[in-house]
Structure 1
């Protein structure tokens, strides 16, 4: 195809920062949920889901 636009590969500094922030937040949620599982056992996630459904 003649005259098709070229794609540029690369990420801006802002995009890299957002990816890093998302990784930190995700890791924090993962560690936080592991503490819940240690305290309450595997039923903690299912009871949390039920509460959300009941709340609306």
Structure 2
């Protein structure tokens, strides 16, 4: 796992925990939502890094 994946994983975890705390995500649909959030964050970080290197 590279650095960007680790960062995306940490951010996704924090977001999902907050969403669970406020009732936006339930433990029953955690897996579905976590994957979507993680993938979106990773995509955003990757695009951001690519645009900076151009």
TM normalised by structure 1 equals 0.46
Of structures 1 and 2, the one with the larger relative CO (CA 8 A, separation 6+) is 2
Choose between structure 1 and 2: higher helix proportion.
2
